[in-house]
Amino acid sequence: MKTFMIERYGDKAGVHAREMPDPQVGADDVLVRIHAASVNPLDLRLRDGAFKAFLPYRLPLILGNDLAGVVVRTGSAVTRFAVGDEVYGRPDKDRIGTFAELIAVHQDDVAVKPANLTMEEAASLPLVALTAWQALVERAQVQPGQRILIHAGAGGLGSIAVQLAKQLGAHVATTVSTAKVDVAEELGADVVVDYRKQDFATVLDGYDVVLDSLGGETLEKSLRVLKPGGKVISVAGPPDAAFARELGLSTVLRLVMSALSFRTRRRAGRHDVTYSFLFMRASGDQLRELAPLIEAGKIRPVVDRVFPFEQTRQALEYVEKGSAKAGKVVVTVA
């Protein structure tokens, strides 16, 4: 099968096309012919080796973390799907590789594609929709009337998180650039802060939850807009010991993670708020819970641009340069 993969970490020019053997299908797996896959910042970080200390992939590594396609074979123990089913999903972190013509995925990690979405739209959703769900529903347990700040509200994660937070009944603020203010307002944000003109930390206060996808100074400032007892959940900040425990990492790596996040956690404590790092996990069940909102049009995918499969490397470069106007970048495979 055709793929786009890397043979070593850290080489921005190292993503290239290569023929690889078709995947082997386990008893609980479905073999999916991929029609579309989306590009995420996670792909760039994996390419650069950012997680190699605790996600020891064997190289060469096929990149790609989202998919939509058609089941072409089922394992002997599969009960949820049949050949011909249209599905979408995010493979388990140990089985990524959606920049390919085929992938074998555990049946628990995919769901039936919402009927109202194209393959490209469906492929744009799994990773960001699951991240939003796990941050806002599972970890923050957002309640109606709570005040939620979502950074980069016109981006891939932010555009879905804003919509989900509104469906949960929250009052939603977001930060965007000048060119994306209209997009954020259309998605339902109650307060839109143009970060080129205003410092969000000076205009927002008393928030219950912050979902951070930017890290750095933005994360540090986010601690100041929370009310006592508030939570900042970051997908871009330093990993913490709880994350290490979730991955089952060694005691040494748990200590390393704790040290990496110590400064942020200490600052959070001074503000009487909490900090946690989120690395989303695959879940077909959660995609099924999201399906009614998607099919009702209450959560809609935002697709910025679609590239043909042979331009996967250019699609990655497009995302890395920050060229997307809003939402996700997608690659059509089949």
Measure CA of the first residue to CA of the last residue in the chain; give whole Å: 12
Which tens digit of pLDDT belongs to each residue from 122-145?
999 999 999 999 999 999 999 999
In a domain, 119, yes or no: yes
Can you tell me the mean pLDDT for 179-184? 96
Distance CA 132, CA 238 (A): 18
**What confidence score (pLDDT) does residue 326 get?**
93
Residue 134 within a domain: yes
Question: Does one domain contain both 188 and 47?
Answer: no
The reply to whether 218 and 82 lie within a common domain is no
Mean pLDDT of the chain, nearest integer: 96
Residues 141 and 204 in one domain: yes
In a domain, 58, yes or no: yes
Quick one: which of 68, 62, 65, 4 has its CA closest to 332? Answer: 68
Is pLDDT above 90 for 80? Answer: yes
Q: Which pLDDT value is given to residue 127?
A: 98
Is residue 292 in some structural domain? no
Q: What is the 3-state secondary structure (H, E, C) of 44-106?
A: HHHHCCCCCCCCCCCCCEECCCCEEEEEEEECCCCCCCCCCCEEEECCCHHHCCCCECEEEEE
User: What's residue 269's pLDDT?
Assistant: 95
Q: How confident is the model at residue 257 (pLDDT cuts 50, 70, 90)?
A: confident
- Are 251 and 161 within one domain? yes
Local confidence band at 180 (pLDDT 50, 70, 90 cut-offs): very high
- Specify the CATH number for the domain of residue 10: 3.90.180.10
Whether residue 95 has pLDDT greater than 90: yes
Same domain, 146 and 33: no
- Give the three-class secondary structure for 296: coil
Residues 60, 164 share a domain = no
Residue 160 resides in a domain = yes
- Label residue 93 by pLDDT band (50, 70, 90): very high
What range does the domain containing 227 cover? 127-277
> Domain count of the chain?
2
Output the pLDDT for position 14: 86
| 3-7 mean pLDDT | 96
User: Residue 243: its pLDDT value, please?
Assistant: 87
Q: Are residues 155 and 211 in the same domain?
A: yes
Would 240 be classed as within a structural domain?
yes
Residue 12: pLDDT above 80? no
Q: What is the mean pLDDT of residues 163-167?
A: 98
Q: Which two tokens stand for residue 212?
A: 């951070």
Helix (H, G, I), strand (E, B) or coil at 189: coil
136 compared with 242, residue with greater pLDDT: 136
Residue 145 and residue 111 in one domain:
no
Q: How confident is the model at residue 277, as a pLDDT? A: 96
Q: pLDDT at position 256, please?
A: 85
The CATH number given to whatever domain includes residue 184 is 3.40.50.720
Kindly state whether residues 148 and 273 are assigned to the same domain. yes
* 315 and 255 belong to one structural domain: no
Same domain, 89 and 187: no
Model confidence, pTM: 0.96
